[in-house]
Amino acid sequence: MKITALLLLLSSFVLSQTFKEKYRPQLHFTPPKYWMNDPNGMIYMNGEYHFWGHAKSKDMVHWEHLPVALYEEDGIAMWSGTAIQPQDSNNTMVLLYAGMDRKKGIQTTNVAFSKDNGKTFNKYQNNPVINPNLRDFRDPKIFYYAPGNYYVVVVVLSDKSVVRFHKTVDFLTFQIMSEFGPAGAAGGWECPDVFEMKVSGTTESKYVVMVSTSGTIGYFVGSFNGTHFSNHQPWIRLDMGTDFYAAQTFNGLPDQRRVIMGWMCNFGYVGSQPTDPWRGVQTYPRELLLVKNNDSYKIASQLVRETHLLVNRTVSHAFHVDVDSEQELTFKDARGRVSVIGVQVELKSDTKGFGIKVLMSADGSEYTLIDYNVATKKLRIDRSKSGNVDFNENFLKANAEMEVVPDKDGVVMVDVLVDVSAVEVFANQVAMSAVVFPNAASSDGLAFVSHGSSVLKNFVEVDLNSMYDK
C-alpha cells in the first residue's frame, strides 16, 4: 500500500503533543501529526509490541511513540512491510518492506536489520533482495515455517490479484515457490497476511490467507504444505463496516495467538477527514479465533483481553426492563465517549427492531445509531446524525451492515467499542468499523429505543481510561 507508515513519527512533535484535539481518539492509535495508513511491521519481541511507526507497547493498549527509524533514500520510496525476529537471535529484528523506484516505477522487496531490539536499523547495501521488475509487486509479509526450518515471504502481484510465495533462510536470497489467487476475489489485492490458526476447541489447524481488495478485507481458509496454499472455501469478508482496510496481525505472539489491527479507511473520503494535525487511525486491537460450523470455517473477532487494563468503571444502566414501542431510554449518568457498551435485547412477537444511540449530544440531536431490523436480521451503523457529515459527499453513501441472527431464546447481543471519533460493533462474532465526527463537546450520551415492545435484558457501560493516561 502507498504512503507507508514507516515515515511518520517526528520525535520533537511527540514531546509537545497533548493528544487532546477535537476528534482525537483515546483508544485507537493515531500518529501525532501528518498522514498514516497501513499498519506496518507488527511484531511482539522480547516483551514489547512494535508498530511502525515507530511506536512500542507492553500491552497493546498503551503506546509510546518513538523517533523515526528509517527514511526514504536514493529515490526509493518505502511502502508497506513486515517484521520478524529470526529463530536463532535474541535482539535482531528484520524488516522487509516494499520499495518503489520513483524513476523506473517498479516495486521491489527490500530488507533492513536491527541488532538492538528495533531501536536503530541498517538497510542492506545490496537492496533490493527481490526484484521481478514489476510495477505492482508490494506489501511483503513474512512468517516462519517450522516444519521446513525456513521463512516464507508472501508478496502481492496486485494487478493480477495473486500472492506469490517465496522461501528464504537468510533474508537475502529468495526462491519462488508458488502463487495463489484470485480464487473468486479479484479486485487488486494488497497487504497480504498468511498465518496458521488452531480451530477453537479442537486440535485441528488451518492456514489463512488474508488480503485487502476493493476497499475491503477478507480471507481464505485452507492448507499449506510448505510450498503451496490450497484453498478450501470461498473468500469471506472479515469486517462489514465502512472503514477497515490493510489489516495485519502481529508476528511473534505465543500459542498461535492472533491479534489484528487495520487502517480505518474508506477511499471515498479518507483524504478529506476533518482531523488536524493528523490524518489516519488504526482499529483497536482485536483477537481472532477460528471457529468451525459443520464443514466451514469462520474467523471470529473480539476485543483483546488486555482491554481490562483500561477499565475505569462499570455501570449497569438497565437489567430486565420491559420497553414499550418507540419508548426511548436515556441514561443520564452515562459517560460513553470512551467505553465499551454491552447490550442484550430479547425480541417479542411485535418487535420490529431496536436502536442503540452512542456519542449522543446533551440535547439528543446528535448521535451515532446502531440499528437492528428484525425482518431483515440486519444490524447497521447509521451515521446520518453523527455530527460532521458533510465534509465529503461520499461519507453518507458508505453503508455498514451485517447479518445478526437471534439466539434460540430470541435474544440479540451487541457489543460496541466507542471512542471519540470511532465506533466498532461486534455481534455474532463478526465486526464492523466506522469513523464518526461528533460536533458537540457533550457527545457522550447513551440511549436505547425499541421499535415494537422488547425486553432490555442488559445494558452495561464499561468506561475506559485513555491510552495516554499513565
Q: Is 46 left (phi over 0), alpha (psi -120 to 50) or beta?
A: left
Q: Find out whether 248 and 282 touch, Cβ atoms under 8 Å.
A: no
CA–CA distances in Å: residue 311 to residues 317, 461, 462: 17, 11, 7
DSSP string of 420-434, one letter each residue: TTEEEEEETTEEEEE
Give yes or no: 255 in active site: no
3-state secondary structure of 147: helix
CA distance 464 to 338: 6
CA 183 to chain centre: 23
CA distance 254 to 234: 29
Which three three-digit cell numbers place residue 20?
487532546
CA distance 131 to 188: 20
CA distance 327 to 452: 9
Phi, psi of 415 (to 5 degrees): -115, 140
Phi, psi of 383 (to 5 degrees): -100, 10
Give which of 207, 247, 259, 190 is closest to 43, Cα–Cα. Answer: 259
Of the candidates 38, 139, 239, 382, the residue annotated as catalytic is 38
Pairing of strands 216-224, 130-134: unpaired
Query: What is the end-to-end Cα distance of the chain in Å, rounded?
Result: 33
Rg value, the chain, Cα: 22
CA 286 to chain centre: 7
Instruction: Provide the CB-side half-sphere exposure for 192 (13 A, CA).
Output: 31
Give which of 309, 338, 303 is closest to 461, Cα–Cα. Answer: 338
Q: Find out whether 115 and 91 touch, Cβ atoms under 8 Å.
A: yes
Q: Find out whether 162 and 154 touch, Cβ atoms under 8 Å.
A: no
Q: Find out whether 127 and 110 touch, Cβ atoms under 8 Å.
A: yes
Cβ-proximal residues to 255 (8 Å cutoff; 6+ apart), any chain: none
Q: Which residue has the cell 526514504?
A: 72
Instruction: Provide the CB-side half-sphere exposure for 178 (13 A, CA).
Output: 10
Question: Residue 422, Cβ neighbours under 10 Å: how many?
Answer: 25
Catalytic residues: 38
